[in-house]
Amino acid sequence: MGSISKRVAVITGAASGIGKAIALLLADNGYYVFLFDKDSDKLRKVFYEEFCVENASYYYGDVTLKQDVEKALAQCIQKTGRIDALISNVGVLRKVEFLNMTEQQWDDTIDINLKGVFLWGQAVAKWMVENNVKGSIVNIACMRARLVGKSMAAYAAAKAGVNTLTKAMAVELASHNITVNAVEPGRTQTDLLKSHIMDKSGEELRQKLIPLGRFAMPEEVAQTVLFLISDRARYITGACIPVDGGYTVEKD
């Protein structure tokens, strides 16, 4: 088994978007980062182009499969000997009208966005408890946990579930000195956002709905995560923190 002195953070969905930004920021701030993603080509490319191989490693896997989670966790422990933080970031938004949604579409969205948070959270929390680690877990939810748009019934339900699961985990893990919090990004400049906004006029219209007048950058969401897993946030647990430019606060 390996042994390193740096704090170790596991980030799921680390090949792109917010997950990639979190991994890069944590690496820049002295963490050893363990990247987990289902997209093997993108993950490999990002890893070798943007990370220092001495301070990072990766694993291809599916957050909805318990065996993938367990194998990835075992590999991380084998390489580093420790885990100090978990950031469950994997998420997918597939817009389908409620009346037309199939059972399979519902199950897929719930599994990726919610079951994956449970599987990774439970696996890491068990290891932390067994090894007496005062760790941190951050689950990436979404503003859609609070505000629902059309054609996102399954996604909104899953993200609301992430928030409630976060609070339940926080209550049960507090006695083990493990903090659990959620971050709720608003619209953020990622490829996922671009795939849902097809033209400049649509982008401008949506920005006008945000009090700060712009979309978030992935790095701004990452800064919130960095704070929540730091020693400065050891008394914060069970919180669901919006990072949305005020979108969920003000409506005319």
| DSSP 8-class letter at 190 | S
Q: Within a 10 A sphere around the Cβ of 193, how many other Cβ atoms?
A: 18
Q: Which of 31, 32, 58, 155 is catalytic?
A: 155
Q: Residue 137 in contact with residue 169, Cβ under 8 Å?
A: yes
Coil, strand or helix: which one is 63?
coil
Distance CA 167, CA 177 (A): 14
Q: Which residue has the tokens 């996604």?
A: 155
Question: For this structure, is 155 an active site residue?
Answer: yes
Q: Cβ neighbours of residue 130 under 8 Å, at least 6 residues apart?
A: none
Residue the block writes with tokens 């694993």: 59
Instruction: Please tell me the distance from the alpha carbon of residue 153 to that of residue 44, in angstroms, as a whole number.
Output: 33
- Nearest CA-CA partner of 216 in 183, 185, 195: 185
Please list the active-site residues. 155
